[in-house]
A and B are shown apart, each in its own frame.
Chain A
Amino acid sequence: MRVTRLLIEDFRNYARAERTIASAVTALVGRNGAGKTNVLEAIHLIARGDSPRARDDTELVRWGANTARVSARVERIDDARTVDVVLFSPPAGERRRPRRYLLDGAGKRADEAIGELAVVSFFPEDVQLLAEAPSARRRYLDSMVAQVYRRHRSETREYQRILEQRNSLLRALRSDVRPSALESGSAGAGEAGPGRTMELSFWDAELVRLAASISLRRLEAVRELVAPFREAATRFSGADSLSLAYAAQVEGDTIAERATAYQALIGQKRDRELWQGTTLVGPHREDLAVSAHGRALPTFASRGEQRSAVLSLKLAEAAWIRDRVGELPVFLLDDVLSELDPGRRDALVDALPEDAQTVLTAAFEAGIPERLIERADVLWVKDGAIA
């Protein structure tokens, strides 16, 4: 799939920029702070509904403007649609407004518009992915899975709500000394009496239902990533010892098996959950584990090794999306090439499929390998304008 036209209005440092993108490779070249990455960010926003750099929409709206718009023409094998995202940054004191999404000009729910375009992105921050806290890897994995299974997005959101309610209840139960009006037993604070179990049971059931479905989708995706990941890793660093696994709390290859296992685990951890006042069971405690020679990677890997591992992961992600969706995603490469040694740079260029669309940024044209630049449209970016 391809982005063939991009319109950016009042987004970051752009007042207005519109480009038709004809070439498979587009290189955005310009000085630091010119606004190269903002273009990649805009495409990422259209595809995944979030920005790898901004926490809040107000950061994305140009200073002094109240609304920003990103509009992209997305061409796929069998259809072409225009996806618009409108972001609001209301003046101080006014109510915040949710984003608006449009498909071919008609207002849609976020879940319908997001996922029209699939991307795989390499931003400089991604190098940290394997060394960061597990939550970053879970977010990465969920975002990847949601590109293929739209349901994953709504389920993870629902899971988050259940988790908040259940944690509040566990905290309340921990500090609870009054016996419930309906409780016949005489369990003290922090013990699992019949009344407590009854109050928890609805949240347990909802947690188990979503946990089973979310974790199974993640598990299956990671299993399918292993082969392309190893292949990419070997190509990159010759390190054939790298491997990938989904570190789950339970086993099971069907939703029913996993649900039973989570339910059993909740039973085992009941007293600890009540004592700690937080949910200890579920996919929010699981992780995407990268290992070398059977050991976890972050403990010993150099920055270079980590970069190679992350790039391998992203290339595997692209292969996975191609297999699942039937089309290659768009590659977004933010200043990646300049940070690689020549060998790895060539390996990356080799690994980029020729028929995939690639949008990349570089501070100098000379930083882009010849084999890429000869197929590329070079666009000069300066002070929020694309020449």
Chain B
Amino acid sequence: MTQVLARPLARLIDELSKLPGVGPKTAQRLAYYILRASMSDADALASAVRAVKTDLRYCSTCFNIAETDPCAVCAADDRDHAMVCVVEEPLDVLAIERTGQYKGVYHVLHGAISPLNGVRPDDLKIAPLVTRIKGGGITELILATNPNLEGEATAMYIAQALGTGGVRVTRLARGLPMGGDLEYADEVTVSRALEGRRAL
């Protein structure tokens, strides 16, 4: 059969369609866009793709993805190194940073416990967290894993693994979303919000 589509273009379409959320049609559109783009734009894209694989590493303290080790947050002098916020994924760090309220440091677990998917505590960065806390200097641990079954299992496991060793362990509050309507919230959310009510 004659190769209608030039081989380099076909290769680019194939590679793009492997990306999450990109189907064959979108991949074609993207590939033709790149084809028509200037050489410098295409080079910028290619080198950006390469750089995320070559120039990034894990911070050996918090396991966030960073350019340097230790990462910018772990190396910062103006952050509270006695307070550690434990999150499942690097993107969760961004969510907490967006608040602009948190001045402590992080610990990224890279997942949550889910035996069904074969994820056990040893597959996550839990042991390094325990070592980090035993090393001293940390007074509060905020468990900011997701409020689902797997996130709860992970938070409970960490709390147990630490035992009652002087560190204050807290869990993010659960309840109603801001800007939401009470009448549209489901029973579980409302009952959690009632449990976690506060005096004004």
* Chain A residues near B (Cβ < 8 Å): 109, 151, 161-162, 164-166, 168-169, 172, 178, 180-182, 198-199, 201-203, 205-206
A181-B127 contact in complex given A161-B149, A202-B156, A203-B153, C-beta closer than 8 Å: yes
| Segment with Cβ contacts to A, from B56-64, B72-80, B111-119 | B111-119
Checking A151, A168, A181 against B115 with a beta-carbon cut-off of 8 angstroms, the contacting residue is A168
Closest CB-CB distance, A152 to chain B, in whole Å? 13
CA distance A166 to B153 in the complex (A): 11
A182 contacts B116, CB within 8 Å? no
A180-B149 contact in complex given A165-B116, A168-B115, A201-B160, C-beta closer than 8 Å: no
Q: A168-B116, A172-B115, A201-B156 are in contact. List 12 more A-B contacts (CB 8 A).
A: A151-B187, A165-B114, A165-B115, A165-B153, A166-B115, A172-B118, A181-B122, A182-B126, A199-B120, A202-B153, A203-B115, A206-B149
Residues of A within 8 A of B153 (CB): 165, 202-203
* Chain B residues near A (Cβ < 8 Å): 113-116, 118, 120-122, 126-127, 130, 149, 152-153, 156-157, 160-161, 186-187
Smallest CB-CB separation from A180: which chain B residue?
A: B122
For the complex of A and B, list the 5 residue pairs with the smallest distance between their C-beta atoms, beginning with the closest.
A169-B115, A168-B115, A181-B127, A202-B156, A202-B153
Checking A165, A166, A172, A182 against B161 with a beta-carbon cut-off of 8 angstroms, the contacting residue is A182
Closest CB-CB distance, B101 to chain A, in whole Å? 29
Closest CB-CB distance, B75 to chain A, in whole Å? 27
Closest CB-CB distance, A189 to chain B, in whole Å? 14
Name which of A109, A151, A180 has the most chain B CB atoms within 10 A of its CB.
A180
CA distance A266 to B127 in the complex (A): 27
B116 contacts A199, CB within 8 Å? no
A164 contacts B122, CB within 8 Å? no
Residues of A within 8 A of B130 (CB): 182
Smallest CB-CB separation from A162: which chain B residue?
A: B149
Residues of B within 8 A of A202 (CB): 113, 152-153, 156-157
Smallest CB-CB separation from B126: which chain A residue?
A: A182
29 A-B residue pairings within 8 Å (CB atoms): A109-B186, A151-B187, A161-B149, A165-B115, A165-B153, A166-B115, A168-B115, A169-B120, A172-B118, A172-B120, A180-B121, A181-B121, A181-B122, A181-B126, A181-B127, A182-B127, A182-B130, A198-B157, A198-B160, A198-B161, A199-B121, A199-B157, A202-B113, A202-B152, A202-B156, A202-B157, A203-B115, A205-B156, A206-B149
Closest CB-CB distance, A86 to chain B, in whole Å? 21
Closest CB-CB distance, A257 to chain B, in whole Å? 22
A165-B126 contact in complex given A172-B115, A198-B161, A201-B156, C-beta closer than 8 Å: no
Residues of B within 8 A of A206 (CB): 149
B127 contacts A165, CB within 8 Å? no
CA distance A180 to B114 in the complex (A): 16
CA distance A151 to B160 in the complex (A): 30
A182 contacts B115, CB within 8 Å? no
Residues of B within 8 A of A165 (CB): 114-116, 149, 153
Closest CB-CB distance, A175 to chain B, in whole Å? 12
Residues of A within 8 A of B114 (CB): 165
CA distance A294 to B166 in the complex (A): 58
CA distance A201 to B187 in the complex (A): 26
Residues of B within 8 A of A164 (CB): 116
Closest CB-CB distance, A327 to chain B, in whole Å? 23
CA distance A164 to B156 in the complex (A): 19
Residues of A within 8 A of B149 (CB): 161-162, 165, 206
CA distance A180 to B130 in the complex (A): 13
Residues of B within 8 A of A178 (CB): 122
CA distance A185 to B149 in the complex (A): 28
Residues of B within 8 A of A151 (CB): 187
Closest CB-CB distance, A150 to chain B, in whole Å? 9
CA distance A316 to B187 in the complex (A): 31
CA distance A172 to B114 in the complex (A): 11
Smallest CB-CB separation from B117: which chain A residue?
A: A168
Residues of B within 8 A of A203 (CB): 115, 153
Residues of A within 8 A of B126 (CB): 181-182
Closest CB-CB distance, A201 to chain B, in whole Å? 6
Closest CB-CB distance, A157 to chain B, in whole Å? 12
CA distance A202 to B127 in the complex (A): 18
Residues of B within 8 A of A162 (CB): 149
Smallest CB-CB separation from B153: which chain A residue?
A: A202
CA distance A166 to B126 in the complex (A): 20
CA distance A63 to B118 in the complex (A): 39
Closest CB-CB distance, B17 to chain A, in whole Å? 16
CA distance A166 to B156 in the complex (A): 15
Residues of A within 8 A of B186 (CB): 109
Smallest CB-CB separation from A195: which chain B residue?
A: B121
CA distance A201 to B130 in the complex (A): 18
CA distance A202 to B157 in the complex (A): 7
Smallest CB-CB separation from B160: which chain A residue?
A: A198
CA distance A19 to B89 in the complex (A): 55
Residues of B within 8 A of A172 (CB): 115, 118, 120
Smallest CB-CB separation from B157: which chain A residue?
A: A202
Closest CB-CB distance, A341 to chain B, in whole Å? 48
Residues of B within 8 A of A199 (CB): 120-121, 157
Closest CB-CB distance, B25 to chain A, in whole Å? 15
Smallest CB-CB separation from A171: which chain B residue?
A: B115
B156 contacts A182, CB within 8 Å? no
